[in-house]
Chain A
Amino acid sequence: MTLPVDTILVLVILTGFLILGTVRLHTAIRLCAIQGVAIGLLPVAAAGEGTSLRVVLLGLFIIALKGVAFPRLLRRAIRESATSGEMQPYVGSTASIVVGILALIAAFWIDSRLSFLPDTHSLVAPVAFFTIIVGLFLIVARKLAITQVIGYLILENGIYVFGLAIALEVPVIVELGVLLDMFVAVFVMGIAIFRINREFNHMDSDQLRNLKG
C-alpha cells in the first residue's frame, strides 16, 4: 500500500515547488488547496485496509477545511482588496525554486541525521521538513499579507505531515481543537487583511513599517 502514499507525497512536494515558482496569487491559492486535499487524503491512504471511521471523517474534515474553506476565505480577501493579483516577491521565482531545491536537499539531510523517528514510511518525514521550510520561506520572502497567510498554511501542512511521520495517536478532541484554532487563525487573518486594506488602501506588508525601535 505504499504506492498511493508515495503518489500523494510527491504531489505535496510538487505543489510546494509550483507555489514557489508562481507569481499569480490565484494560482498559489489553488495550489495551496490541492496540497490541502492531498494532505487530507494522506492518513486515509496510509491506513490502507485498516481504515477506521475516525480516520476517514478527520480526512474529510481536513479536505473541507483546507481544500474548500480556506481558499474561499483567501479569494474573498483578494476580491475585496482589489489587488493586482501578483505575488510581488522579494525573491523572484527562479531564485525561489533554487531555494526549494536546497530545502529538499536539507530536508533529506535532516531526516538522515535524525534516524530517531519510528520506522514509518521513509518519505514522510523529509516531505514534512521540506514543506515546513517552504512555508517559512514564503512567509519571509513575499510582500503581500495574503501570501504570508498562504505561507502559514503551507507551514501548518508540513507540521501535520510531521505529526503523521511520528505516528502519534493524537486524541480526537485535541486534533479538532488544533483544526479549529487553525480555522479561526485563517479567519482572523482574513479579517485583519480586510481591515488593513480598508485603512491603508493596500495590503502590502512591506509598507507596514511605521513601528520601529
Chain B
Amino acid sequence: MYIPRPLLILLVIIYLLFLLSVDWINQPGGAWYRPFWVGLLIIAVGSWAHREQDSDEL
C-alpha cells in the first residue's frame, strides 16, 4: 500500500502532539481553549501535507 510521505509525517506529528499535549491541556489552571491551539497546529500541518502537488488521478 502506498502512503504519501507527507501523510506519514502528519501521522507522526499528530501522535507526538497527542502525547505531549494531553498533560498541558489538562493542567488545572490551563485555559479552556488549549485543545483548539493543538487542533489548529494539526490543521496547519495538514494543510502542508495536502498542499497542491501533481495529483495522481487514478
Do A and B form a real pair? no
B residues adjacent to A (C-beta < 8 A)? none
